[in-house]
Amino acid sequence: MSDLEKYVEVALLLPISQTFIYSVPDHWREIAYPGRRVLVPLGKRSVTGYIIKFPSTLPKEIEIFPLRRVFEDDTAISENLLHFILWTAHYYFQPIGEVIKCALPPGMHPRVKESYCLSTKGREALEDASVPEAEKKILSSLLEKRPGLKVKKSDRKILQKMLAHGWIEKKEPFLEQRVKEKKVAFLRCLAKPENIRLTPRQAEALKFIATAGEVALPDFRAKYPHSSFLIKKFKEHNLIEIYFQETFRQISWGEDLAWPMPTSIRLTSAQEKALAEIWPALASKKFRPFLLHGVTGSGKTEVYLRAIAETIAQGRSALLLVPEISLTSQVMAYFKDRCPYSLAILHSGLTPGERFDEWRRIKRGMAKLVIGARSAIFAPLDNLGLIIVDEEHDSSYKQEEKVLYHARDLALVRGKMENAVVVLGSATPSLESYYNVLQKKFSYLSLPERIDARPLPEIQIVDIRQDKNKEQRKSIISSTLAENLQQTIMRKEQALLFLNRRGFATFALCPDCGYSFKCPNCSVSLIYHLSEKSFRCHYCDYSLVAPSSCPRCSSPRLLLLGTGTQRLEEEIKKEFPSALVGRLDRDTAGRQKSSQIMNQVRRGEINLLVGTQMITKGHDLPKVTLVGVLAADLSLNVPDFRASERTFQLLTQVAGRAGRGDLPGKVIIQTYNPDHYSLAFAQNHDFIGFYKQEISFRKEMGYPPFKRLIHLRWEGNSLEKVQKFAQNLHTLIIAVRKVNPKYAEQIEVLGPAPAPLSYLRGKHRYHILLKGQNWSRLHNFCQEVLEQREKIAIPGVRLIVDVDPINML
Ligand code: ADP
Ligand code: ZN
Ligand code: ZN
């Protein structure tokens, strides 16, 4: 064994980019290898981390401490997954420990608790009258030997003092996990009831246990009321034993996923053609990326299902990513009856206990298919053969908080590492993905028609400026949309109304003095919510009970302008009293509620559904024949180079919800910009046309996929400090750029400037955009800048690095 194997490099589960080297005590040499969880000293504390590798060199003139503990349990990360995590951390400039945390269920994040015990001296102190009460209280609680003494911050000093006195001693710190394994008690018979008198009921209950072999206590309880008496009796006579077994929590869906799913399906020729390409790729067991471009309702899910079945038949596992939690249940329903293999779910809508258990089932190889949202890209699957990203264009694959990464892009990386096939599916592929097809990086699969040759819906664009309703009734619903809604209701069909703004009124204004309600923490208007009669900020959740008069001039006449989903719902209810109206947005949809609301639509308990973004994605609702888009301009007016693309995608997707059953669908788009090309191409279902126009704009402006971007944003409470950091960072960037002539030639630096949302959640925000054509050069450049970030750091200013940014607001 080389000398270096006595040491390991550890990433701590903390938001710091530095890693540390520790020595391995001899008795742990066998088990201390990369991927294992460890407990290490850091200053005076103990913290958890993961071994990431054996170091190639050792730091000089620094004392190296030994590991405190190595864990040999479920918490370990496989070599493959660790490799993927390290790649992710490097590529996105994120701390390794933070990426590891993304890969673990949240309940597994441990807390390190210091523990102490009482010394003989301490026992004496307890008896000593001169010792103050506060000390005694802690000492006596230690006497009870409660592990993990909880010490309030204010008591820390006392603790230090008592340590110094030698009253208490530090013991090994221990880890407390937030979620634990669930154990269930089981009953099993030990002996026949010879010479023991049992009542008929007792005899029957005992026989029940004996016949079953073993019975879970909750089941026994359900069958036999007053079971504790029975059990006591059996135990007394040694007739049964009680033992505990680990069980996995059942995921509760709140309600049944019962809606009819096709049981036997004959593939369409387009589906067959697509699969005919995927199958050999799977057989080759090599990395192959595909773009599956299928119009809405073309049967992409069926292709996924068959490809997954094939993968699992080969003895490998599969991962299916979906953009929206409520879609997991739809996909589950589709798969449930037709998958003979076990599947697991991973997303933030599960309880911590459920996530913990699903994760461990996956890790133990008990689940062959994982369906999940973006963080499932880190699922601990072994032997991965296929990764599918459904609705690959969706921006929810980009995680914007804590650790910034893009799960769609990572799917390709992981697929490559695992020699897996990767299928990106969408009706509206991202420009980047379609560009990759044209560059021959992805193979192209197409489902150009809807199932059963159902027509794509007819799309009508309504110019709101010309609408007579606007003048007469001041309604956001145009007369064209109103007429169509009326007909839909009369025909007993269903409609979706899409408005990408929740709340009631989006703006409150005093007509007398011009006062408007703004969030004190953010540079945005507060939004009026009718149900709570409050003004709320959609960024920081600040809320204010709505005053009845203007805070500035006391005028009682406050105007509520603009419309959100709440007001739309009210309006619809008023105008169409016979309709069953429902609403789906972040205010109405809790964890599982979004799929409940969607189920209500499926069962016909809702026939007019009002909603935000959440209703546009992937849902298969056969009875929806009308879709109304209330304000197409909302997404067009966002100051972002992807605004047109996003609008095209949104309109195509929401339109795609119409006419998926036997009845043809119709779509009405209301707008102030009827001539915008995004709308025109969406109206004609012309993705290629849109692509050609948009890609030329990207080329001209030097945006992705032609140039790559890294977005640096920093924020802080003090504007002065944030501005000072802007200067520092800019100076540093310019200095690094000068060092290398290639940088000076090729890296563009835009900014620093205040971010479009210049004040958010109480923080001032500035940004710089780095642009470059050559990716590795841009990445190296950024790396060199970041390596020197300590030099320019200002306390209270936080820098956020966003590689391949999606949201630059
Ligand atoms: P997409 O995801 O492409 O929008 P879905 O996968 O939701 O479309 O499929 C739309 C509908 O067509 C679903 O109800 C599905 O069960 C059905 N379907 C898919 N393939 C077939 C087929 N080959 N024959 C008949 N129905 C199909
Ligand atoms: Zn006023
Ligand atoms: Zn706010």
* Relative orientation angle of helices 120-127 and 156-165, to the nearest 10 degrees: 110
Give the list of residues 6+ apart from residue 255 with CB closer than 8 angstroms, or none. 596, 599
Q: What is the DSSP code string of 145-184? A: T-SS----GGGHHHHHHHHHHTSEEEEEEEEEESS--EEE
3-state secondary structure of 754: strand
Q: Parallel, antiparallel, or unpaired: how do β-strands 748-760 and 708-716 relate?
A: unpaired
Residue 374 CA to ligand 1 center (angstroms) comes to: 24
Q: What is the DSSP code string of 426-486? A: ESS--HHHHHHHHTTSSEEEEE-S-GGGPPPPEEEEEEGGG-HHHHHH--SS-HHHHHHHH
Residue 153 CA to ligand 2 center (angstroms) comes to: 46
User: Which pLDDT score, from 0 to 100, does residue 213 have?
Assistant: 85
Sign of the dihedral defined by the CA atoms of residues 117, 119, 120, 125, in that order: negative
d(CA 464, CA 322): 35
d(CA 92, CA 95): 9
Ligand nearest to the CA of 513: 2
Using CA atoms of 253, 259, 260, 266 in order, give the dihedral in degrees to the nearest 10: -50
Ligand nearest to the CA of 454: 1
Low-confidence residues of the chain, pLDDT below 50? 254-258
Closest C-alpha to 679, from 655, 705, 700:
655
The beta strand positions in 454-590, using DSSP E, are 458-463, 494-498, 507-509, 527-529, 534-536, 543-545, 559-561, 581-584
Residue 517 CA to ligand 2 center (angstroms) comes to: 10
Sign of the dihedral defined by the CA atoms of residues 251, 257, 258, 263, in that order: negative
Closest C-alpha to 606, from 528, 497, 749:
497
Tell me which amino acid residue 578 is: S
The minimum-distance atom of ligand 1 relative to the CA of 656 is 4
Tell me which amino acid residue 338 is: R
Among 301, 327, 423, 602, residue to substitute to test ligand 1 (most atoms within 8 Å of Cβ): 301
Distances (CA, A) of 684 to 637, 655, 688, 760: 22, 11, 11, 39
d(CA 572, CA 580): 10
The minimum-distance atom of ligand 1 relative to the CA of 304 is 6
Closest C-alpha to 184, from 140, 220, 131, 146:
220
Q: What kind and span of H or E run contains 353?
A: helix 352-363
User: Which pLDDT score, from 0 to 100, does residue 99 have?
Assistant: 96
d(CA 464, CA 115): 68
d(CA 347, CA 322): 10
Residue 476 CA to ligand 3 center (angstroms) comes to: 26
User: Which pLDDT score, from 0 to 100, does residue 260 have?
Assistant: 52
Distances (CA, A) of 119 to 45, 464, 476: 21, 81, 75
3-state secondary structure of 40: strand
Ligand nearest to the CA of 390: 1
> Which pLDDT tens digit goes with each residue over 522-542?
877 888 888 888 888 888 788
Tokens at residue 624, please?
């929806």
Buried b (16+ CB within 10 A) or exposed e, 9-30: bbbbbeeebebbbbebeeebee
The minimum-distance atom of ligand 1 relative to the CA of 296 is 4
Distances (CA, A) of 186 to 202, 221, 241: 18, 11, 8
Residue of minimum CA distance from atom 1 in ligand 1: 297
Residue of minimum CA distance from atom 25 in ligand 1: 265
Residue 495 CA to ligand 1 center (angstroms) comes to: 20
3-state secondary structure of 47: strand
The minimum-distance atom of ligand 1 relative to the CA of 267 is 23
User: Which pLDDT score, from 0 to 100, does residue 625 have?
Assistant: 93
What is the largest distance, in Å, between two alpha-carbon atoms of the chain?
Answer: 97
User: Which pLDDT score, from 0 to 100, does residue 473 have?
Assistant: 56
Structural contact between residues 355 and 248, judged by C-beta atoms closer than 8 angstroms: no
Tell me which amino acid residue 79 is: E
DSSP state of 518: B
Tell me which amino acid residue 689 is: G
Residue of minimum CA distance from atom 15 in ligand 1: 299
Residue 566 CA to ligand 2 center (angstroms) comes to: 25
Q: What kind and span of H or E run contains 801?
A: strand 797-803
The minimum-distance atom of ligand 1 relative to the CA of 620 is 7
DSSP state of 558: -
Q: Which amino acids bring their CB within 6 angstroms of ligand 1?
A: 262, 265-268, 271, 294, 296-302, 451, 620
d(CA 217, CA 233): 15
Give the list of residues 6+ apart from residue 787 with CB closer than 8 angstroms, or none. none
Residue of minimum CA distance from atom 18 in ligand 1: 299
Burial class (CB in 10 A: 0-12, 13-18, 19+), 756: middle
Closest C-alpha to 474, from 549, 566, 556, 575:
575
Q: How many other CB atoms are found less than 10 A from the CB of residue 414?
A: 26
Among 295, 620, 657, residue to substitute to test ligand 1 (most atoms within 8 Å of Cβ): 620
Q: What is the DSSP code string of 135-153? A: HHHHHHHHHTT-SS----G
Structural contact between residues 648 and 442, judged by C-beta atoms closer than 8 angstroms: no
Residue 519 CA to ligand 3 center (angstroms) comes to: 5
Residue 633 CA to ligand 2 center (angstroms) comes to: 30
d(CA 231, CA 235): 6
